[in-house]
Structure 1
Amino acid sequence: MDEQRRHGYGGPPRERGAPGGSGPPWALRWADREPGAGLPWRSTLLLAVFVTVGSGFAARNQPDRESLDALGRALLLLGVALLLLRHRHPVPVVFGTAAITLGYFAAGYPYGPVFLLIAVACYAAIVHGHRRSAWWALGLLWLGHLLFAHWLYAYLPPDGDSAAPWGQEIPVACFVVAILAASEMVRVRREQWAQQRAERAAAERRRADEERLRIARELHDVLAHSISVINVQAGVGLALLDSDPEQARTALTTIKAASKEALGEVRQVLDTLRAPGEAPRTPAPGLDRLPELVDQAASAGLTVETATEGEPVALPPGTDLAAFRIVQEALTNVVRHSGSRAARVVVLYRPGTVELRIDDDGPATGGDAGGGGNGLVGMRERAGALGGTIEAGTRRDGGFRVRAVLPARPKETP
């Protein structure tokens, strides 16, 4: 796994053909093709050449049948011409082709590649979802062939023809079954490819939405915290600009440092967007940077006490980042909305989980130092994405508490 994903900044790897596997690219493109996207000129032209030339050779080997004259070739070409519309109008084409083939047999012309016309027409009808039409067309063609070969032969060309042996119906039946079986197999496979394509597109949309929400949370957490510090220090600087220039200078220095850090983190997120395959320049923050949050809160006039209970374990990167952001957002909310100038952060390590408790004594001021009210929503989303929980609300003594429970599996060593 690359550095970017280990530190929680990259989206999930794109799995080729997921979910559920996929067919080859050409098959997926074919499965997505609209029935009326275009006329199959090339395949139909090749079919016309094959059927015409092949029927000529078949006529030489069947001297007992009528010779292939202009009418016979016209019937063959008419059947081929119908196949141009097999994707747009598969039902009329399959019945029309069956009728032309029956007319060809009734005229006594030789057997041969003419069967390929009805095979292609039935195949097109079945893969486009018109199974019953294809079955009916093949059934009518077979019934007509039985009538011509065993009962009506005396009234049809060629003259002096006799009844066909019933044994020849076995290969005809096998041909019909083969056409239906092959067409059904292709239809089922095509539907599977189309479903896989749709599932993959839906998965891509879900990944894009998840990535968009993740980036929104990152930007909110970075900007809300830093802007809150800047807002408070700007107010201090303005208030002391005339009476205490040195203190105002300290406030401006804090503003400069907070803005520089915010720009660095924002740039890191934006770099991930520009080059998602590269590792970030700095690792994602975690609970090891909790002292930095304490210092930043102190620069905004907030005193933060920290405590750790239990045996600390190395957290997975996603959990470590989420824990840092939850503490950061909770302290930002204290700066923005609480009248208290003190907060407590407790990290409790328990078997399988890490619990975070961030408390302040209140009361709520109703003030706002930046942000759009999305802090608690973002914290819940972070915890929920990891299978954790968030509780936030007023304590009985009037203070406010944020309590988060996150999974704390020990980080696997490579």
Structure 2
Amino acid sequence: MPPFDPLRRRLPGGLRAEHALALTVLALVGIAEGQRLGPGGRTTPALVASWLLAMAVCGALLLRQRHPVAVGWCTVVGTGTYYLLSTVDGPLVLVPIAALYGLASSGRLQAAVTMAAVMVIGVGAGALAGTGDVNGTAVFMLTGWLIAVVALGAMWHGRMAYAEEEAALRATQERLRIARELHDVVGHNMSMINIQASAALHRLEKDPAQAESALAAIKAGSREGLRELRRTLGVLRQVDEGAPTAPTAGLARLEELIASSALAEMTVTVKKSGAHDLLPATVDLAAYRIVQESLTNAAKHSGARHVVIRLHRDDAQLRLSIEDDGHGAPPGPAGHGASGIAGMTERARALGGALTAAPRPQGGFAVHAELPLSDNKTATERSTR
């Protein structure tokens, strides 16, 4: 995702519009000042000074990207001086107004308000001095325009800041989702491979047949892990890569998890109750990952030999229960299942549900989850309501 820069959106048309504005104003000022030429087209010192000021003010606008505050003051002071020297009510005031909008839209609200106040005070002082060029109505109209321009710029800045914050939040949520997927996929398959490799080394000399079976299980597990990993990383694939063809993880693939657990000498029993309708995709994936991580922890950390999975679906939610007969040791503070349990909890909460994981009083470890079937909004969507 490219970095967000609200300074790029100072004017609706960007830099080209600023250049066009400066050139147009300068041309109009030149036409207006042409009316002040003396007989025979002779110029006066005041006319030359007015032209130079107009050129300086319009040229300064082109440097606003690098020095926005300095350019803003230059346009305000230069425009004020121009109107003191010139007898033509030209359109040069559009340049400081554009500079004020740029300051407000880039978050420099204090500088924009200060410059607008200086402009109003200067024009008001001219009206009180009785110059004849401005009156109370002109001061009132200028004040309204400046307030509207600064408010519009501040509103645009707020909108861009909100969009930037929302984009960063969505990016963070996406990174966490990918991290959970990678942990679940790699963690489960690598744990099964580790268990089978240990068994193969132990039986290599005593029982080569069983060692060969364990090595075959390692091959199958590694192939499955690579397939799942490729599907998960598909969200980061390039445009010219083909879409992943592996089936989406869900409870329909529960038998595959049970088969891999059987290779780790762990018996898994599944008990289903309630309705048998299709689950929403988000709930189906979360349930599969919770069962997968629970079986991984049971085989790797709890030392279980028997696991019971209970699934109950009603009209409101899906209830999951995974209980094993291992030693039920709580996860260590620096790993040993802690990150997996945290990931399962995040999955449940992202769907508006809840998950608990703790040792059982009678021994073993238990994971209980409740996943609502409706209002399955992501954490990002709920946080931006």
- State the TM-score, normalizing by the size of structure 1: 0.74
**Cα distance in 1 for residues equivalent to 2:102 and 2:316:** 53
Tell me if the contact between 2:50 and 2:85 (Cα under 8 Å) persists in the aligned partners. no
Offset of 1:121 from its aligned partner? 3.3
- Corresponding residue for residue 348 of structure 2: 383
- Corresponding residue for residue 97 of structure 1: 79
SS of equivalent to 1:315: coil
* Structure 2 residue 300 is the aligned partner of structure 1 residue 339: no
Tell me if the contact between 1:391 and 1:403 (Cα under 8 Å) persists in the aligned partners. yes
Match of 1:135 among 107, 115, 120: 120
Offset of 1:143 from its aligned partner? 2.8
Offset of 1:224 from its aligned partner? 1.1
Which 10-residue stretch deviates more, 278-287 or 386-395? Answer: 278-287
SS of equivalent to 1:30: coil
Tell me if the contact between 2:301 and 2:337 (Cα under 8 Å) persists in the aligned partners. no
* Structure 2 residue 56 is the aligned partner of structure 1 residue 56: no
Amino acid across the alignment from 1:288: A
- Corresponding residue for residue 10 of structure 2: 30
- Corresponding residue for residue 263 of structure 1: 226
Match of 2:255 among 291, 305, 310: 291
* Structure 2 residue 45 is the aligned partner of structure 1 residue 71: yes
State how 1:12-411 maps to structure 2 within 5 Å: 29-30=9-10, 43-44=21-22, 46-57=24-35, 69-83=43-57, 84-85=59-60, 87=68, 88-91=70-73, 93-104=75-86, 111-112=87-88, 114-121=89-96, 124-125=99-100, 128=103, 129=112, 130-144=115-129, 146=130, 148-149=131-132, 173-275=136-238, 280-364=244-328, 373-409=338-374
For residues 127 and 335 of structure 1, do their structure 2 counterparts lie closer, same or farther at Cα, with a shift above 3 Å needed? closer
Offset of 1:314 from its aligned partner? 1.4
Q: Which runs of 5+ in 1 are unaligned?
A: 1-13, 15-24, 105-110, 150-167
Amino acid across the alignment from 1:337: H
Give the length in aligned residue pairs: 350
User: Percent same amino acid among aligned pairs?
Assistant: 33
Offset of 1:81 from its aligned partner? 4.1
SS of equivalent to 2:271: strand
Greater radius of gyration (CA): 1
SS of equivalent to 1:281: coil
Offset of 1:246 from its aligned partner? 1.1
Amino acid across the alignment from 1:318: T
Q: Which runs of 5+ in 2 are unaligned?
A: 62-67, 104-111, 377-385
**Cα distance in 2 for residues equivalent to 1:400 and 1:30:** 58
Tell me if the contact between 1:272 and 1:280 (Cα under 8 Å) persists in the aligned partners. no
- Corresponding residue for residue 109 of structure 2: none
Tell me if the contact between 2:291 and 2:322 (Cα under 8 Å) persists in the aligned partners. yes
**Cα distance in 2 for residues equivalent to 1:337 and 1:32:** 59
**Cα distance in 2 for residues equivalent to 1:219 and 1:123:** 50
Tell me if the contact between 1:125 and 1:133 (Cα under 8 Å) persists in the aligned partners. no
Offset of 1:230 from its aligned partner? 0.9
**Cα distance in 2 for residues equivalent to 1:204 and 1:269:** 22
- State the TM-score, normalizing by the size of structure 2: 0.79
Higher relative contact order (CA 8 A, sep 6+): 1
Tell me if the contact between 1:241 and 1:248 (Cα under 8 Å) persists in the aligned partners. yes
SS of equivalent to 1:314: coil
Offset of 1:118 from its aligned partner? 4.0
For residues 367 and 28 of structure 1, do their structure 2 counterparts lie closer, same or farther at Cα, with a shift above 3 Å needed? closer
For residues 121 and 251 of structure 1, do their structure 2 counterparts lie closer, same or farther at Cα, with a shift above 3 Å needed? closer
For residues 57 and 27 of structure 1, do their structure 2 counterparts lie closer, same or farther at Cα, with a shift above 3 Å needed? farther
